[in-house]
A and B are shown apart, each in its own frame.
Chain A
Amino acid sequence: MLTEFGKIFVFLLVAIIFVAVSIFIAKLIRPVRPTKEKLKTYECGENPVGTPWIKFNIRFYVVALIFLIFDVEVVLLFPWALSYKEYGFYGFLVGIIFLVILAVGMAYEWRKGDLEWARPKPNIPYLKKIIKNQTGEINQLQSEESKIE
């Protein structure tokens, strides 16, 4: 008699064995004729530049942090959701208080803009105001002068 986890374990074993066996059979029957071009990173002829070990952007890290905390929150809600009905309104209230406390954090993140993907600010070229003003003032002065004349 298998428990539910036993079934998961059987699935796991089948998945691992399936992948291993199919890779092994493919290795047996496929022809192996490597050339220098075939062994390159990109077969399309692109030469790789630099190292693939690059520094990740810190934005990923912030998103992962926030994800992790809400992950823990959801995990803690599972046992509550399974048994709050037995305690009526009190059981409901316990979970709601828990959620409200975390909603404060959520509101904080939202207000501070941590949930938004921090885009790099585009550097839009613009005409400098000083020149505009100067020409405008000059134009105005000229028109006033012409009035006086």
Chain B
Amino acid sequence: MNIYDIIFYLFAAITLVSGFFVVSTKNIVHAGFYLLFTLFGVAGLYVLLGADFIAIVQLLVYVGGILILLLFGVMLTNKITSVDLRSGTSYIIPAVIGVGILWGALTAVLFKTSWRSKAPSGMDPTTSEIGRLLITDYVLVFELLGILLLVALIGAASIARRDKE
């Protein structure tokens, strides 16, 4: 167990424990704040996998942007504390079958995949390599991302806009 493993388990523990609190707390503002630690832990895991650009994006977009949006969304709701999280209906047998199948599939994937179990040897910066791919092989994807963002921008603004009339 070297230092890499210790840091990995640290970030995994942060992610799992705060993720548990996200789903178990009754106060949805607190759930949002616990989500901060979950997303941060995931960013740490990305760093340990050698995906530096993804880790920074995780911090910038998820921790910095989406979480703020989520908290504003929470603040717009009527009921914040002691939310009753149960749904009115419950189907135990279909739920058990569905969750069992999902669990089985995930476990199968977990054991069938040949995981790269050692730390990435060189932490080569990936950002310029991603940029090279975005300009050459995935240039269409890059421009489509621009259009996707444009659609999201216009859609979000026109939905959230206050009615001027």
Contacts and interface: CB of A to CB of B under 8 A. Distances in A.
Interface of A: 3-5, 9, 53-56, 58-62, 64-69, 71-73, 75-76, 78-84, 86-87, 90-91, 94, 97-99, 101-102, 104-106, 108-109, 112, 114, 118
B54 to A, nearest CB: 10
A92 to B, nearest CB: 10
A94 B143 contact: yes
Nearest to B128: A82
A40 to B, nearest CB: 21
Q: Taking chain A's interface residues, is the majority helix, strand, or loop, or is none over half, making it mixed?
A: helix
A104 B150 contact: yes
B23 interface: no
The 6 A-B residue pairs whose C-beta atoms are closest, nearest first, are A79-B131, A56-B75, A83-B131, A101-B146, A105-B153, A82-B128
B162 interface: yes
B75 A98 contact: no
Contacts of A99: 146
A61 B69 contact: yes
Interface string B149-165: 11011101110111000
Interface string B80-94: 110000000000000
Nearest to B123: A3
Given A71-B60, A80-B134, A83-B128, A65 B78 contact: no
Contacts of A112: 157-158, 161
A108 B123 contact: no
Given A81-B131, A82-B128, 17 more contacts: A56-B72, A58-B160, A62-B160, A64-B69, A68-B68, A71-B60, A71-B65, A73-B149, A78-B53, A79-B128, A80-B142, A83-B132, A101-B147, A101-B149, A102-B146, A105-B149, A112-B158
A98 B142 contact: yes
Given A56-B75, A56-B76, A101-B143, A69 B64 contact: no
B160 A65 contact: yes
A62 B73 CA distance: 10
A80 to B, nearest CB: 5
B7 interface: yes
Nearest to B68: A64
Contacts of B77: 55
B135 A72 contact: no
A12 to B, nearest CB: 9
A105 B65 CA distance: 19
B156 A80 contact: no
Given A104-B150, A109-B153, A68 B66 contact: yes
Interface in B118-149: 123, 127-132, 134-136, 139, 142-143, 145-147, 149
